[in-house]
């Protein structure tokens, strides 16, 4: 057997598992607003179950409705009414011999005042008026402002120390509240058992309430729940013992434990939990009766050491799992940024961990293990760690929408994909452009039995991803277009490289429809001096067309294009001035990606000038204007790189519309965006009614 460790049976307490693959407790934002499993959520889990996942851990499941809600569409086990709907989902998952445990969770200080101030009322309104949930997302923005700025209640924590990311008023829990919360967790576990699920997992990680009690950074209490490690662990250990007492010793209790908070990695020494203390916690958890430990790390304040950006290497934190495994006798589950089955097999074989947890990777490709078992490793769609999943979860929560995935736009649409009409009947669809939008559309159309013919003016696929992969530590971007090309070829797409078709060329093919995905082109602002020879667009730096070394370079724009261009320029010994018209670097960029790039750029000491706009470029200097005072300032520079973004390149679409009826625009050619917006565009156009 090729993957004998990965495919071998496993045991967690009394729970027998068919293999060593675990879907860890990723929150996907797909539950019903009342905390019950939606059809969408059930379909999401079933797609993973039928593709051989051994154990599914649900996303965060609240244990009370007063101050325990984190997201509008998360699961709940706060009352008996949640048992029957959850039981229905459990039964469906068990049909595939997959086990399921429910993760019990409380956010503590990592929540919003809105969820505490309004959630109980919102729930009551929703029960009386089900149609309210269609209105709810429109209420959230104004409701958030009102709660945060006028009268919102404080979020709760062991001590009144706010989270620097959430920035909410925070109060410490009373002893009676703590004891009541302990009962909430135990009662929720009783309901999980009554549903027929196979166990519970207690979320003692990622900066949520239980970890807030464990960490000396967030727990400053001087009573029985604070001070010594033994006292800080009392909240968690009382839960474990209480669940075992009420549900029985044979009912599995897992604990997701952050064994290192990684504050030391962001320059805050002697702060929070470090691995040495994590080992002591793991031993105490085992002694309390827990059946397994899911090893992880980080908090909201050290998020890149929990949900890693693309720069992190696979397996970078496997020392955490191996250290805990060598100190306890119960099974250890760990994620360890596993992308390939070879990596999972190796880490299981060498004893790093007992179970391999694949979170974002199973968002990207639910068939991961099926493909590995069948010898189709080349067919696996790899997660590129772009963090769009967590970014979109945060953005979409207020809209009542689930998270998304850059490489798998069918995420959350599993039921739809299982009924995808195969009615193409060999009809030809011409696709112009083999970037992410074109590749995704060609794959879906091929699966629908159309005949996609893809024209690409370059000699390779990828489009602008062939620029996005050039900055340091962006090699995983290659996986994106490599894997999409594999899927498109598998679906029967035909590729014609180094070809820009004319109208007459396309007329000879006589296509049923034409999809235009010609990408974007750099924005060149109308500024005096923009035509000088030392002024270049950022794409020329990334592509290697311009090799700039040991110069003083002004980079105009601090979006991801600007920052990544700066990083590449820094490698060549250039002195950098990053100019941003707004008052902060990287406006609109997801904070984890900004933190990741700036952690490396800062080592090069760039001069970041915010609140200034470029008004003139001269032979050896630039003139900036302060956006607040309107005063001008001059900086001496050798080279100016323009990185103010892209604009749609849709001239071909305009031309083709004059000659053909069914012409559709997608990707950056329609609206400049991210990888996820391009792939979603390709997916949506390829499944839309006009192509039926």
Q: Would you state the pLDDT for residue 400?
A: 80
Residues 135 and 18 in one domain: yes
Residues 320 and 171 in one domain: yes
Residues 490 and 571 in one domain: no
Mean pLDDT across the chain: 95
Q: Does 313 fall in a domain?
A: yes
Q: Is 172 helix (H, G, I), strand (E, B) or coil?
A: strand
124 pLDDT more than 90:
no
Domain boundary among 349, 364, 399: 399
Q: CA 280 to CA 276: how far, in whole Å?
A: 7
Q: CA 292 to CA 554: how far, in whole Å?
A: 53
Sign of the Cα torsion 118, 122, 123, 124 reads positive
Q: Which token pair is 513?
A: 């429809």
Which tens digits make up the pLDDT trace of 236-281?
999 999 999 999 999 999 999 999 999 999 999 989 999 999 999 9
pLDDT mean over 203-207: 98
> Of the candidates 57, 60, 53, which has an alpha carbon nearest to the alpha carbon of residue 27?
60
Q: Give how many domains the chain has, as a whole number.
A: 3
Q: Does 654 fall in a domain?
A: yes
150 pLDDT more than 60:
no
Burial status of residue 549 (CB atoms within 10 A of its CB: 0-12, 13-18, 19 or more)? exposed
Residues 476 and 586 in one domain: no
Q: Does 409 fall in a domain?
A: no
Render the burial of 102-130: b for 16+ CB within 10 Å, e for the rest: bbbbbbbbbbbbbbbbbbeebbeebeeee
Residues 162 and 213 in one domain: yes
Which residue in the list 3, 44, 45, 208 is annotated as catalytic?
208
Q: Would you state the pLDDT for residue 139?
A: 61
Residues 150 and 222 in one domain: yes
The CATH number that applies at residue 621 is 3.50.50.60
Q: Does 413 fall in a domain?
A: no
Sign of the Cα torsion 145, 146, 148, 154 reads negative
Residues 656 and 640 in one domain: no
Domain boundary among 337, 365, 399: 399
Q: Does 586 fall in a domain?
A: yes
The CATH number that applies at residue 17 is 3.20.20.70
Contact predicate 243/200, CB 8 Å = yes
Residues 513 and 597 in one domain: no
Q: CA 24 to CA 597: how far, in whole Å?
A: 27
Which residue range is the domain that position 628 belongs to?
A: 535-644
Q: Does 460 fall in a domain?
A: yes
Q: Does 585 fall in a domain?
A: yes
* 590 flagged as catalytic: no
Q: CA 407 to CA 83: how far, in whole Å?
A: 34
Quote the radius of gyration of the chain (alpha carbons, Å).
27
503 pLDDT more than 90:
yes
558 pLDDT more than 60:
yes
Residue where the block lists tokens 């973004």: 645
User: Considering the chain, what percentage of its residues have pLDDT values greater than 70?
Assistant: 97
Predicted TM-score (pTM) of the model is: 0.95
Residues 46 and 85 in one domain: yes
pLDDT mean over 396-407: 89
Residues 390 and 517 in one domain: no
| pLDDT bucket at 397, cuts 50 / 70 / 90 | confident
The CATH number that applies at residue 460 is 3.40.50.720
Q: CA 195 to CA 503: how far, in whole Å?
A: 61
Q: Would you state the pLDDT for residue 119?
A: 72
> Of the candidates 569, 568, 570, 574, which has an alpha carbon nearest to the alpha carbon of residue 551?
574
Which tens digits make up the pLDDT trace of 423-455?
999 999 999 999 999 999 999 999 999 999 999
| pLDDT bucket at 104, cuts 50 / 70 / 90 | very high
Residues 504 and 626 in one domain: no
Residues 341 and 441 in one domain: no
Q: Does 599 fall in a domain?
A: yes
């Amino acid at each position: 057997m090729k993957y004998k460790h990965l495919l071998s049976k496993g045991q967690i307490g009394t729970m027998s598992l068919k293999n060593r693959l675990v879907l860890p407790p990723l929150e996907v934002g797909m539950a019903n607003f009342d905390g019950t499993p939606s059809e969408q959520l059930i379909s999401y889990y079933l797609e993973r179950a039928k593709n051989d996942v051994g154990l599914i851990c649900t996303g965060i499941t609240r244990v009370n409705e007063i101050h325990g809600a984190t997201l509008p569409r998360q699961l709940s086990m706060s009352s008996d009414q949640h048992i029957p709907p959850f039981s229905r989902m459990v039964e469906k998952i068990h049909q595939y011999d997959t086990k399921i445990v429910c993760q019990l969770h409380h956010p503590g200080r990592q929540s919003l005042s809105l969820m505490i101030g309004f959630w109980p009322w919102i729930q009551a309104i929703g029960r009386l008026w089900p149609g309210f949930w269609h209105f709810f997302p429109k209420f959230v923005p104004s409701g958030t402002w009102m709660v945060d700025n006028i009268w919102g209640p404080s979020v709760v924590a062991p001590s009144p120390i706010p989270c620097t990311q959430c920035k909410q008023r925070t109060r410490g829990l009373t002893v009676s509240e703590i004891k009541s919360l302990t009962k909430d967790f135990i009662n929720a576990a009783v309901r999980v058992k009554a549903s027929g699920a196979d166990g519970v997992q207690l979320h003692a990680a990622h900066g949520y309430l239980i970890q807030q009690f464990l960490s000396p950074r967030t727990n400053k209490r001087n009573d029985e729940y604070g001070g010594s490690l033994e006292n800080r662990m009392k909240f968690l250990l009382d839960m474990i013992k209480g669940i075992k007492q009420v549900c029985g010793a044979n009912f599995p209790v897992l604990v997701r434990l952050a064994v290192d908070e990684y504050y030391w990695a962001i320059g805050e020494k002697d702060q929070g939990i470090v691995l040495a203390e994590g080992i002591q916690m793991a031993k105490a958890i085992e002694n309390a009766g827990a059946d397994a430990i899911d090893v992880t790390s980080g908090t909201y304040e050290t998020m890149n050491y929990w949900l890693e950006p693309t720069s992190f290497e696979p397996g970078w934190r496997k020392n955490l799992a191996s250290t805990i495994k060598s100190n306890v006798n119960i099974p250890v589950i760990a994620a360890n940024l596993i992308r390939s089955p070879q990596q999972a097999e190796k880490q299981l074989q060498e004893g790093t961990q007992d179970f391999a947890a694949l979170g974002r990777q199973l968002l990207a490709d639910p068939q991961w293990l099926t493909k590995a078992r069948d010898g189709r490793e080349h067919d696996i769609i790899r997660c590129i760690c772009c963090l769009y999943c967590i970014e979109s979860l945060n953005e979409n929560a207020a809209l009542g929408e689930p998270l998304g995935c850059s490489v798998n736009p069918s995420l959350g649409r599993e039921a739809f994909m299982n009924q995808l009409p195969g009615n193409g009947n060999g009809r030809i669809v011409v696709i112009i452009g083999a970037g992410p939008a074109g590749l995704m559309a060609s794959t879906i159309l091929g699966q629908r039995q159309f005949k996609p013919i893809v024209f690409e003016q370059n000699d390779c696929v990828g489009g602008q991803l062939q620029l996005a992969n050039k900055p340091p530590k962006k090699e995983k971007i290659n996986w994106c277009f490599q894997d999409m090309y594999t899927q498109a070829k598998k679906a029967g797409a035909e590729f014609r490289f180094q070809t820009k078709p004319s109208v007459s060329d396309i007329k000879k093919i006589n296509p049923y429809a034409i999809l235009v995905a010609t990408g974007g082109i750099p924005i060149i602002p109308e500024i005096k001096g923009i035509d000088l020879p030392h002024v270049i667009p950022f794409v020329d730096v990334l592509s290697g067309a311009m090799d700039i070394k040991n110069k003083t370079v002004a980079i105009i724009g601090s979006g991801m294009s600007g920052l990544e261009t700066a990083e590449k320029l820094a490698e060549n010994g250039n002195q950098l001035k990053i100019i941003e018209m707004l008052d902060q670097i990287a406006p609109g960029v997801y904070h984890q990606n900004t933190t990741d790039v700036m952690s490396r750029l800062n080592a090069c000491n760039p001069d970041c000038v915010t609140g200034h706009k470029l008004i003139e470029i001269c032979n050896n200097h630039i003139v900036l204007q302060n956006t607040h005072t309107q005063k001008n300032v001059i900086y001496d520079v050798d080279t100016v790189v323009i990185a103010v973004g892209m604009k749609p390149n849709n001239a071909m679409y305009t031309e083709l519309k004059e000659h053909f009826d069914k012409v559709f625009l997608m990707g950056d050619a329609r609206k400049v965006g991210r990888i996820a917006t391009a792939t979603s565009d390709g997916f949506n156009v390829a499944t839309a009614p006009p192509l039926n």
